[in-house]
């Protein structure tokens, strides 16, 4: 987990930041040494839609996919039965040469339904991307999954020998972000800047359950599905303009909004001075503050960016901000946002991770959002803080990373606030960005709902259950002004 940053990140190496302030892609991620780590098959959220290109159902007795008729070549055809395709650890994998008109390369999602005979075998190669040109790829290591040697080392989710699992791996083309999930649980993400997860061999060849050395797995696969993913999301018609003041990790947010038909411009927020570009023509200004925090807008506490943003909201603009904004302000950073934020900075108690979001009010902002949903385990940071008078909480948030949690029983998760003719929306979440994780589906949906949202015209809002006002928050906690370096220890 990242400490407070003492130096400005080197954005010169980030292809996303260019002189014309166009799209901002992934910032640098933590490097991972060559250690034995989990391999998960990268996953997209259930909200992400994509075209199904190939579907092999090996229990049907056929090796031809049922969508486009592409053949999967089995190293041992005798292993095919009504139970699926059984492969042994002598190298009995599956090879697919993709037709050029269908081939996926740098953006895709793959789902594998399979079981491995052993969960104590060291490395077992599951997917090869480069026709054995290198050792990188998806592996099982003992009882967990790992992309050698790029992904985080995390054995939170494991498997047992003989257990049937679904492993999903996806790669976002524009951001080069690889994400893995096991049975629907997100395991990790990493920035594939070296293109190790790109199918780049002749015929974009895919190899499954086979190694070019001794790391062959043994088990049974019942199905493989491959999806084409248009940078992660199905495009929809809409048409608003969004300015993202980015934390160098906002690519998945930009992609999601563009999939809804919106025009997105991203600029690294420490470089934004209020004019490059001006916010005046945008329907929403979004400040992401999770991966990069502890810096001022425009890298200057006196930057004109603050007064420009205040004027934008006062005159009718919509401004959405995420954490770690309250954390920064409690530490004396970004105080130029004080006229806009819906929380009382002086009531800041502390920060935490994980936990649960609960809907407490009706609004277009929470349409399509579950009544309650969990934050990412051991990630998704937020703060304990009270609200200003007139601020309208729509969701509550409780934490469970530390024991006991630093917050009282009630804590805001999503808040609306009217400033002049404009609207301020605060999500009490870093969207997972501090931990180099993409935002989850419900949080992305809240951001999408905010585009075009205007308190003056939001007719179907209901009165929410009130959360604790700041003065009572302070009385109950007795911890006013407790600030300090993150992350908390447990």
Nearest to 324 by CA among 426, 474, 471: 426
User: E strand or H helix at 313, and its extent?
Assistant: helix 304-314
- Other beta carbons within 10 angstroms of residue 72's beta carbon come to 20
Mean pLDDT split into 10-residue runs, the chain, 490 residues: 31 31 29 28 37 95 97 98 97 97 94 97 97 97 95 91 96 80 85 93 97 97 88 49 93 85 93 97 96 96 98 96 98 98 96 94 91 90 95 94 78 96 97 88 92 65 46 48 44
DSSP 3-state of 376: coil
Q: Cβ of 5: how many Cβ atoms within 10 Å?
A: 12
Spatial CA neighbour of 168 closest among 200, 145, 143: 145
Q: What single string gives the DSSP state of each residue in 188-204?
A: EEEE-TT-TTS--SGGG
Q: Is 58 helix (H, G, I), strand (E, B) or coil?
A: helix
Residue 230 CB neighbour total at 10 angstroms: 18
pLDDT for position 194: 93
Q: What CA–CA distance (Å, rounded) separates 41 from 110?
A: 8
* Residue matched to tokens 């001794």: 214
Separation of alpha carbons 330 and 332, rounded Å: 6
| ∠ Cα 400 401 405 (to 5°) | 55
CA separation for the pair 16, 252 (Å, rounded): 13
Q: What residue ranges in 209-262 does DSSP mark as E strands?
A: 219-228, 241-246
Question: What is the distance between the alpha carbons of residues 392 and 119, in angstroms, rounded to a whole number?
Answer: 50
- Can you tell me the distance from the alpha carbon of 221 to that of 96, in angstroms, rounded to the nearest whole number? 15
What domains are there in the chain, each with its CATH number? 41-228 (2.60.120.200), 241-477 (3.40.50.880)
Q: In whole angstroms, give the CA distance from residue 5 to residue 292.
A: 8
User: What whole-number distance in Å separates Cα of residue 165 and Cα of residue 244?
Assistant: 38
Q: Provide the b/e sequence for 309-333 (b: ≥16 CB within 10 Å).
A: bbebbeeebbbbbbbbbbbbbbbeb
- CA angle, corner 447, sides to 446 and 452, nearest 5? 105
pLDDT score for 176: 81
Say what the pLDDT of residue 486 is.
Answer: 56
Phi, psi angle pair for 460, to nearest 5°: -105, 25
Contact 115, 164 (CB under 8 A): yes
Half-sphere exposure at residue 461, Cβ-oriented, CA atoms within 13 angstroms = 16
Crossing angle between the packed helical segments 441-450 and 251-259, to the nearest 10 degrees: 60
- Three-state DSSP class for residue 301: coil
CB atoms inside a 10 Å sphere around CB 466: 12
Cα separation, 5 vs 272, in Å, equals 19
Indicate the SS3 state at residue 310. helix
Backbone angles phi, psi at 271, to 5 degrees: -95, -5
């Amino acid at each position: 987990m990242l400490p407070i940053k003492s130096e400005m990140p080197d954005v010169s190496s980030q292809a996303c930041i260019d002189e014309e302030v166009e799209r901002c892609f992934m910032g640098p991620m933590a490097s991972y040494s060559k250690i034995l780590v989990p391999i998960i098959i990268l996953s997209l959220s259930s909200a992400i839609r994509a075209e199904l290109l190939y579907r092999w159902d090996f229990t049907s007795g056929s090796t031809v996919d049922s969508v486009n008729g592409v053949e999967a070549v089995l190293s041992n055809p005798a292993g095919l039965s009504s139970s699926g395709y059984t492969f042994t650890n002598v190298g009995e994998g599956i090879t697919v040469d993709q037709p050029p008109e269908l081939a996926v390369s740098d953006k895709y999602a793959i789902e594998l339904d399979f079981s491995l005979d052993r969960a104590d075998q060291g490395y077992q190669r599951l997917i090869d991307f480069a026709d054995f040109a290198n050792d990188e790829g998806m592996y099982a290591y003992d009882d967990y999954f790992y992309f050698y040697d790029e992904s985080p080392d995390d054995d939170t989710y494991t498997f047992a020998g003989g257990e049937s699992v679904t492993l999903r791996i996806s790669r976002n083309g524009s951001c080069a972000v690889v994400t893995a999930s096991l049975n629907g649980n997100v395991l990790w993400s990493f920035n594939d800047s070296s293109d190790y997860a790109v199918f780049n061999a002749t015929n974009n060849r895919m190899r499954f359950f086979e190694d070019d050395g001794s790391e062959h797995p043994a088990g049974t696969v019942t199905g493989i599905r491959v999806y084409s993913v248009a940078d992660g999301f199905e495009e929809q018609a809409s048409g608003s303009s969004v300015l993202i003041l980015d934390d160098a990790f906002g690519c998945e947010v930009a992609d999601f909004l563009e999939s809804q038909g919106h025009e997105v411009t991203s600029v690294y927020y420490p470089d934004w001075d209020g004019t490059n570009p001006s916010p005046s023509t945008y329907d929403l200004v979004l400040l992401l503050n999770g991966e990069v925090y502890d810096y001022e807008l425009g890298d200057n506490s006196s930057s004109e960016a603050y007064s420009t943003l205040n004027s934008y909201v006062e005159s009718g603009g919509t401004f959405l901000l995420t954490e770690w904004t309250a954390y920064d302000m409690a530490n004396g950073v970004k105080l130029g946002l004080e006229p806009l934020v819906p929380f009382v900075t002086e009531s800041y108690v502390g920060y935490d991770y994980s936990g649960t979001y609960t809907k407490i009010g009706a609004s277009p902002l929470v349409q399509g959002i579950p009544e309650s949903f969990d934050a990412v385990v051991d990630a998704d940071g937020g703060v304990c803080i009270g609200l200003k008078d007139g601020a309208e909480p729509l969701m509550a948030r409780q934490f469970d990373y530390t024991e006991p949690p630093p917050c009282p029983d009630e804590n805001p998760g999503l808040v609306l606030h009217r400033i002049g003719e404009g609207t301020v929306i605060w999500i009490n979440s870093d969207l997972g960005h501090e931990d180099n994780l993409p935002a989850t589906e419900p949080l992305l949906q809240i951001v999408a709902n905010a585009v075009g949202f205007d308190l003056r015209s939001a007719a179907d809002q209901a009165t929410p259950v009130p959360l604790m006002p700041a003065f009572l928050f302070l009385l109950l906690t007795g911890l006013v002004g407790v600030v300090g370096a993150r992350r908390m220890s447990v």
